[in-house]
Amino acid sequence: MTPDAFARIAEAADSADATVFIPTPGRRRPADAPAVRLEPVAADLESLVGLNPLVAAANRLLSAVPQIRSTLRHPDPAALRAELLNGITKFQELAQAKGYGPEQIRLARHALCALLDESVQNTPWASQAAKGPSLLQEVEASASGKDNFFLLLNDLENLPAANLEVLEFFAACLALGFEGELRNRAGGRAQLQQIRTQLIELVRRERGAHGLELSVRWRGLDVPLARRSPWLFTWVSACVCAAILVGVYLGLRVLLAIQAEPLARTVASLKAKDGLLSAHAGQPVTPRLKSYLAKELAAGQLALVEDGVKSVVTISGDNLFASGRATIDAAYLQTVLRIAQALNKVPGSIIITGHSDDRPIRTARFPSNWELSRERAHSVVKLMAGEIADPSRLRAEGLADSEPIAPNDSPENRAKNRRVTAILRVASQ
């Protein structure tokens, strides 16, 4: 299983996660999402992952992970659980038929159950699905239901040659977003990225050491060489020119973003000064949102500051988004919806602002932190729009690193500056 295969699995997960149902304006609630169907990721996953039939045996279950995570509501969690249990049984039968031993199947099954349990637990409808034992408890008859994913992975890495295909199975689970006990641990994201990188490097070294073929269907057909079309050179030249033009366009876009940063920073500072001048110092503070968001405040999912004229709700950007992404994490969808419901109860304009740290980003999609922070703010606005009776109250702004709340001199302080805020300016009475 090549590193490219892991990347394609992760891209498939990101693509599905990016498809989030956004309620339409007008206070109409969305209909229940259709039940998650266990369908293959591809017609022949084995052709994607090369030599690893163990991953191919779990094709249908692995394909369900992005669908589960992107589902806002599920009409029948109990039926989904039954279907997943049935899929796990079929996975074991397929793996056994492909010649894997009981211990290999047990280890892969543990990782698979942990991935599926976590995917369900981080959905807005997790409470409905928690009425019975977890998949791990059911399949392994474990009273605690605690996964040992990383402990098992560590043991497997001690004997990589003997456990190569099981290691690839664990790597596929990590590529699909499994975080386990590291999800809520300080520095967990960085540690998780390190584990993923080291595991892929280990697999690459072992595959190279064993001299395995990258494809089980590498031999071509013995057919006569066809004559080349006279237009082939023209088409190749056109493609090369198009690639050059795309490269030039992307380069100029990044360059323009760099040159525009000083102007954007100046505009942002003027807006900040204007906001300070318009504040009504000394005006008595009337709690507006605190009672609506008491549960989220107690859980530390957000922060709230209110004065005489405005209320500011702040959510950590590391909680809402993965690094360099603008798609809201499924675990925080319900939190954002709760904030929108609270804002809807108080009249006034609402500005959603995205903020970053001072480390620059230069990608084709986000040439600078201004584009990234603006896109993140737009993602929050789109999700909130269905909960606000008058969506025209909402406005999105990207402020990059122009309004830090802590010095950008340490990883902890940079994490504080990566945030999204919802600013409610109270309508004049």
pLDDT at 166 over 50: yes
Please state, rounded to an integer, the average pLDDT across all residues of the chain: 79
CATH number of the domain enclosing 312: 3.30.1330.60
Do 8 and 137 lie in a common domain?
yes
The verdict on residue 236 lying in a domain is: no
Q: CA 165 to CA 105: how far, in whole Å?
A: 11
Angle at 9 between CA 37 and CA 158, to 5 degrees: 115
- The per-residue pLDDT for 45 is 41
Q: Cβ atoms within 10 A of the Cβ of 28, count?
A: 9
Strand 310-316 to 303-306 pairing: antiparallel
Strand 348-355 to 394-398 pairing: parallel
Asked which of 210, 240, 259 is the last residue of a domain, the reply is: 210
- The model's confidence at residue 236, banded by pLDDT at 50, 70 and 90, is confident
- The per-residue pLDDT for 21 is 36
Q: Cβ atoms within 10 A of the Cβ of 95, count?
A: 22
- The model's confidence at residue 1, banded by pLDDT at 50, 70 and 90, is low
- The per-residue pLDDT for 267 is 47
| Contact of 45 with 77, CB cutoff 8 Å | no
Non-local (6+) Cβ contacts of 152 within 8 A are 107, 110, 111, 170
Do 195 and 285 lie in a common domain?
no
pLDDT at 362 over 50: yes
246 CB-side CA count, 13 A? 8
Do 195 and 331 lie in a common domain?
no
In this structure, what token pair is assigned to residue 25? 């304006």
- The per-residue pLDDT for 146 is 78
The verdict on residue 251 lying in a domain is: no
Do 139 and 286 lie in a common domain?
no
Q: CA 332 to CA 310: how far, in whole Å?
A: 24
8 by Cβ neighbours in 10 Å (0-12 / 13-18 / 19+) ranks as middle
pLDDT at 390 over 70: yes
pLDDT at 28 over 60: no
Overall domain count for the chain: 2
- The per-residue pLDDT for 8 is 55
| Alpha-carbon dihedral sign for residues 35, 36, 40, 41 | positive
Do 31 and 102 lie in a common domain?
yes
Strand 419-426 to 348-355 pairing: antiparallel
pLDDT at 258 over 80: no
Q: 54 in helix, strand or coil?
A: helix
Amino acid at 293: L
- The per-residue pLDDT for 242 is 80
Do 200 and 298 lie in a common domain?
no
Q: CA 127 to CA 416: how far, in whole Å?
A: 30
Strongest mean pLDDT among 39-53, 199-213, 216-230, 267-281: 199-213
Do 43 and 166 lie in a common domain?
yes
In this structure, what token pair is assigned to residue 248? 């030039």
**213 vs 140, more confident:** 140
The verdict on residue 127 lying in a domain is: yes
Do 190 and 317 lie in a common domain?
no
Do 280 and 403 lie in a common domain?
yes
The verdict on residue 217 lying in a domain is: no
- The per-residue pLDDT for 2 is 57
* Candidate from 177-181, 215-219, 280-284, 323-327 with smallest mean pLDDT: 215-219
The verdict on residue 220 lying in a domain is: no
Mean pLDDT, residues 152-176 taken together: 92
Residue located via tokens 């692995």: 62
The verdict on residue 311 lying in a domain is: yes
Do 190 and 276 lie in a common domain?
no
Asked which of 192, 210, 228 is the last residue of a domain, the reply is: 210
Q: Could you tell me the residue range of the domain that residue 54 belongs to?
A: 3-210
In this structure, what token pair is assigned to residue 262? 């000083």
The verdict on residue 117 lying in a domain is: yes
Q: CA 309 to CA 428: how far, in whole Å?
A: 9
The verdict on residue 240 lying in a domain is: no
Q: CA 277 to CA 22: how far, in whole Å?
A: 36
CATH number of the domain enclosing 156: 1.25.40.590
Do 202 and 304 lie in a common domain?
no
pLDDT at 340 over 90: yes
201, containing H or E segment: helix 188-210
19 by Cβ neighbours in 10 Å (0-12 / 13-18 / 19+) ranks as exposed
Q: Is the pTM above the cut of 0.75?
A: no
- The model's confidence at residue 255, banded by pLDDT at 50, 70 and 90, is low
Which residues, listed in sequence order, are joined to residue 94 by a DSSP beta bridge? none
**66 vs 362, more confident:** 66
Do 153 and 278 lie in a common domain?
no
Asked which of 210, 236, 253 is the last residue of a domain, the reply is: 210
| Contact of 54 with 45, CB cutoff 8 Å | no
